[in-house]
């Protein structure tokens, strides 16, 4: 099954059930200063989960471009990404748990043909303030999911929101695909991070309003927000072991391998994955049309961090030439038929990658020498102090995250908390001196 086929089938399935398709919003939120990027399909819809009427009605479906940086350290495994596409369907005061769960189950098993016995689900187990979600539990049993494949978990695993301190929130039910593997060697459940279970869909049921005193009141209108990663469901549908084997990534991975020319490519699987993921995210941020450029602030800082991490990895692989634009070209060719803004901004994307490669090349050469000198005086288990991290940053412009990665590779702890305090003190002194 191809990515475009899944996109088409998903939208068609929900359109046949009364949903109206909405277009993907920009990766840069229009009216949200709290976050840098659009992180989920419901993000652009937040005002409509508080009573505002959406011009296209109460049932919506769409595919949203997303960037999340909270998983950046997970990138390199089989399923986590910085940039991804989220398939979503939403009910703004219309249907609720019964219809939502049944539609999700029917799409996965009836349209995509995923065997029901390979699915496992989690539901909210309740606490002192909000009850156990027995309703979702019973609905899942009605679909035919065996009760020993339904797991109750707490707020950490099965509760969403609110976005701030107060507002709409509620329990969710998450759908997992059982890979059949057993890496941890025990009879584990979806909460285990061994890799046996892969989360593919999350259905959020907003039925409460968290108040300023910390209590929860029932909402008059109930809302449903669901999200499913295109990359993950594409891998699962094709019985692939990782997202990097799908058409979204495979051509990019092959291009990276041909350009880096490693003698033992099997030793660089994680590095290839990080390069592919970060370059994909960088290309989409640069190609979004908002003209974000690498910088030391906000969106530009995240973009710079992604690009510079790629540059360090390819330098570590003894590649001195700038291969970033060639990788970007493959990413553009794969995605431009669906997201034409990438082709429209091709020149801008490649130009910015070239500029950052040249600028960071100078920083990296000097910074790495200074960093290696510092590390030469430390043994595994010892600690790199905050002042040393700050000197690398202040003198060479060396990214603190990169210092932390280098330290971690050598088994050395890096005082990142101390660095942040040292940096804040420095900024405050600079402000007072103005």
Q: What does the pLDDT average to over 93-112?
A: 98
Do residues 162 and 210 both lie within one domain? Answer: yes
Distance CA 46, CA 326 (A): 38
Query: Is the peptide bond between 162 and the residue preceding it cis, with omega within 30 degrees of 0?
Result: yes
Provide the CB-side half-sphere exposure for 415 (13 A, CA). 15
Residues near 210 by beta carbon (within 8 Å), at least 6 away in sequence: 161, 162, 165, 166, 167, 169, 216
User: Which residues constitute the domain of residue 175?
Assistant: 3-241
Residue 434's pLDDT is what? 40
- CATH number where 168 lies: 3.30.930.10
Distance CA 119, CA 105 (A): 9
Do residues 15 and 119 both lie within one domain? Answer: yes
**What pTM was estimated for this model as a whole?**
0.88
Do residues 346 and 387 both lie within one domain? Answer: no
Do residues 360 and 392 both lie within one domain? Answer: no
Do residues 158 and 291 both lie within one domain? Answer: no
Question: Pick from 206, 241, 276: which residue ends a domain?
Answer: 241
Residue recorded with tokens 């009836």 = 110
Do residues 365 and 385 both lie within one domain? Answer: no
Distance CA 353, CA 361 (A): 12
Nearest to 205 by CA among 228, 172, 227, 176: 172
What is the DSSP secondary structure assignment for residue 128, as one 8-state letter? S
Angle between helices 298-316 and 324-335 (to 10 degrees): 120
Question: Pick from 374, 402, 417: which residue ends a domain?
Answer: 374
Residues 400-420 have pLDDT tens digits of: 888 998 999 899 999 999 999
Distance CA 319, CA 346 (A): 24
pLDDT at 433 over 60: no
Residues 123-162 have pLDDT tens digits of: 999 999 999 999 999 999 999 999 999 999 999 999 998 8
H or E element at residue 99? helix 97-106
Do residues 384 and 370 both lie within one domain? Answer: no
| Lookup: tokens for 90 | 């939403």
Do residues 357 and 431 both lie within one domain? Answer: no
Do residues 304 and 421 both lie within one domain? Answer: no
Do residues 338 and 203 both lie within one domain? Answer: no
Distance CA 224, CA 88 (A): 10
Residues 314-342 have pLDDT tens digits of: 988 989 999 999 999 999 999 999 999 99
Residue 424's pLDDT is what? 85
Distance CA 170, CA 208 (A): 6
Portion of the chain with pLDDT greater than 70, in percent: 98
Nearest to 317 by CA among 268, 371, 379, 362: 268
3-state secondary structure 279-311: HHHHHHHHCCCCCCCCCCCHHHHHHHHHHHHHH
Do residues 364 and 393 both lie within one domain? Answer: no
Lowest mean pLDDT among 92-96, 102-106, 273-277, 395-399: 395-399
Give CA torsion, residues 110, 116, 118, 122, to 10 deg.
110
Residues 193-233 have pLDDT tens digits of: 898 999 999 999 999 999 999 999 999 899 999 999 999 99
Distance CA 87, CA 65 (A): 9
Provide the CB-side half-sphere exposure for 170 (13 A, CA). 25
Residues near 285 by beta carbon (within 8 Å), at least 6 away in sequence: 27, 37, 67, 83, 292, 299, 302, 303, 306
Do residues 362 and 381 both lie within one domain? Answer: no
Q: Rounded mean pLDDT of the chain?
A: 93
Number of domains in the chain: 3
Question: Pick from 241, 259, 292: which residue ends a domain?
Answer: 241
């Amino acid at each position: 099954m191809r990515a475009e086929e899944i996109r088409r089938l998903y939208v068609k399935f929900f359109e046949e059930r009364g949903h109206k398709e909405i277009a993907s919003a920009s990766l840069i939120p229009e009216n949200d200063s709290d976050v840098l990027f659009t992180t989920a399909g419901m993000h652009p819809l937040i005002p409509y989960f508080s009573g505002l009427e959406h011009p296209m009605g109460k049932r919506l479906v769409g595919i949203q471009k997303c960037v999340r940086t909270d998983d950046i350290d997970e990138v390199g495994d089989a399923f986590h990404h910085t940039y991804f596409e989220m398939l979503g369907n939403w009910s703004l005061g219309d249907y609720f748990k019964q219809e939502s769960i049944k539609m999700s189950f029917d799409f996965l098993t009836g349209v995509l043909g995923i065997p029901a016995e390979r699915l496992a689900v989690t539901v909210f187990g309740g606490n002192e303030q909000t009850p156990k979600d027995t309703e979702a539990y019973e609905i899942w049993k009605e679909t035919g999911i065996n009760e020993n494949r339904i797991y109750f978990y707490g707020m950490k695993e099965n509760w969403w929101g609110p976005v701030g301190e107060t507002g709409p929130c509620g329990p969710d039910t998450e759908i997992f695909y059982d890979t059949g593997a057993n890496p941890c060697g025990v009879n584990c459940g979806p909460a285990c991070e061994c890799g046996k279970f892969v989360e593919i869909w999350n259905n959020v049921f907003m039925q409460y309003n968290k108040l300023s005193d910390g209590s929860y009141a029932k909402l008059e209108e109930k809302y449903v927000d669901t999200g499913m990663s295109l990359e993950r469901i594409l891998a699962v549908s094709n019985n692939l072991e990782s997202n990097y084997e799908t058409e979204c990534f495979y051509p990019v991975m092959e291009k990276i391998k041909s350009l880096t020319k490693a003698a033992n490519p099997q030793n660089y699987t994680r590095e290839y994955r990080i390069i592919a993921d970060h370059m994909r995210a960088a290309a989409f941020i640069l190609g979004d049309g908002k003209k974000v450029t690498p910088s030391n602030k906000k969106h530009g800082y995240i973009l710079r961090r992604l690009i510079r991490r790629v540059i360090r990895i390819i330098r570590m692989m003894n590649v001195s030439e700038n291969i970033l634009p060639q990788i970007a070209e493959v990413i553009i060719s794969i995605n431009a038929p669906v997201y034409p803004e990438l082709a429209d901004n091709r020149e801008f994307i490649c130009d910015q990658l070239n500029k950052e490669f040249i600028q960071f090349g100078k920083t990296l050469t000097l910074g790495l020498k200074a960093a290696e000198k510092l590390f030469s005086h430390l043994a595994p288990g010892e600690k790199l102090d905050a002042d040393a991290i700050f000197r690398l940053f202040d003198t060479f412009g060396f990214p603190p995250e990169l210092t932390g990665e280098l330290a971690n590779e050598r088994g050395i702890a890096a005082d990142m908390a101390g660095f942040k305090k040292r940096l804040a003190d420095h900024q405050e002194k600079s402000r007072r001196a103005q």
